[in-house]
Structure 1
Amino acid sequence: MAAYFRRVLLGAFAVMPALALSPALTDSVAFAAAPDAAAAKSFIQQSGAKLVAIINGPGSTSQKSADLRALVNDIVAVDQIGKFVLGRYWQVATPSQRTEYLHLFHQTLAYNITTQIRAYKGVTFQTGKVEPGPAGDLVSTVVSRENQSPAHVQWVVDTIDGQPKIVDVVVEGTSLEVTERSEYSSVINDHGGQVSALLDAMKQQLTRMKAG
């Protein structure tokens, strides 16, 4: 299940923030010290319990989608994530491009969550040990689904603006935010460093998602 779960996370949580912010972004994001191990573990336990309750609970797909979007916005710093994923191109982008990019980033996350709900059905979530890391506390979990092998996932938790937030997800040693940043950079690099090319690609992706 680990490879499968990694693909699901890459789709639904493809907007995880940085392991370490580049110097260009440190002025715009207020970071504090990581929460202590007990607080980080409690945060992940509570967040996981909420996610499982939404996925496995009653309600329509549209209602679950709305509930999941609200949950992700609460436990993940989406705007900061988007800035990191764009990397050095954030400084290249015009003010209007930055605004459009963040808008598309939020929309992409929302639709990814919607399309991945069925993949999470029957999920269970168990927390394990907590280890300190350079970006925050790494909370180990085992995520399971019926008829699938368990996936061992580490959630990196840091304090942002006084609140604990998930700042990365590591599956089989793969950092999801680093993977997403690489993919975004590749699109821009393949088009002569034009941020507009990424915006066009994101809009095309959203069109395909909306079409089902």
Structure 2
Amino acid sequence: MIMLRLMGLLVVSLLLVVQPARAGDGPAAEALVKQAVADATAAFAGGPFSREVSRDKVSALVSKYGDIAYESELILGRYWRKATEPQKDSFVSLLIPFFVATYAELIDNKSGSTQVLFLGSEEMADGVVVKARIMQPAEEGVDLSFVISRSPAGKLVISDAIAEGVGLVTTIRSDFTSVVRGAGGNLDVLLDAMRKKIAMVPAAGR
């Protein structure tokens, strides 16, 4: 389950769903997921790490696979369009520290024993789905599907991951926009909540 949550964090960081992948993208999509999983597994092997180190590791993954400013726009949807420039800048700067503060204790691959079995890919109308199974010793395997789309620049990107019928990126987007909607559209309420989470004293060793 540790690696499942790691993949959830990774996918959130890589959100770029805007255009469907083209026909014939299956092999390239599968290669993208394999490389992303390998990079994330290697980056967090041997933890736990401090929050600062974890932030650096996540930032490196985002720099390689995503675009944090554009991802921020997609997460907030219509609330991004209504936000002031300072609010946008704040959200972009808070996003990675927030996720590290929220999931830090779940993303370290301490034992290095997690295995990812890839089960092939399937081309869909709105992208490519890469199927995998997350395996850990003494635990039942967890099936996970990665949804691959293309960015406006034509880059293949991971746009969501589905586990047990739940889209991880979709859930995070819903949670964030729900907070803003509950505050009458006031984005500052979400920003303050993110800052408070980041400022919380981490567990020992974090």
Query: What's the counterpart of residue 70 of structure 2?
Result: 80
The corresponding residue for 1:165 is 157
Is contact 1:55–1:64 with CA below 8 Å preserved after alignment?
no
One-letter amino acid of the counterpart of residue 194, structure 1 = N
Correspondence for 2:119: 128
- 1:134 and 1:77, CA in 2 relative to 1: closer, same or farther beyond 3 A? farther
Shift in CA distance, 149/202, structure 1 to aligned 2, threshold 3 Å: same
Question: Matches of residues 93-108 of structure 1 in structure 2 within 5 Å?
Answer: 93-108=83-98
Shift of 1:120: 6.5
Offset of residue 158 of structure 1:
1.9
Question: Could you state the TM-score of these two structures normalised by the residue count of structure 2?
Answer: 0.80
Partner of 2:40: 51
TM-score normalised per structure 1: 0.78
Q: 1:8 to 1:162 in 2, by over 3 A?
A: closer
1:188 Cα offset (Å): 1.2
Q: Specify the alignment match of 1:178 in structure 2.
A: 170
How much does 1:87 deviate? 1.5
Deviations along 1:125-161, one digit per CA (max 9) or x if unpaired, are 1111211234321100111122221111111112322
Q: Which moved more, 1:176-185 or 1:63-72?
A: 63-72
Cα pair distance change 1:83/1:134, threshold 3 Å: farther
Corresponding residue for 2:27?
38
Are 2:189 and 1:197 aligned? Answer: yes
Task: Calculate percent identity across the aligned residue pairs.
Answer: 24
| Shift in CA distance, 155/83, structure 1 to aligned 2, threshold 3 Å | same
The SS at the match of 2:139 is coil
**Counterpart in 2 of 1:24?**
none
- Classify the secondary structure of the residue corresponding to 1:61: coil
Where in structure 2 are there 5+ consecutive unaligned residues? none
CA distance in 1, matches of 2:79, 2:150: 25
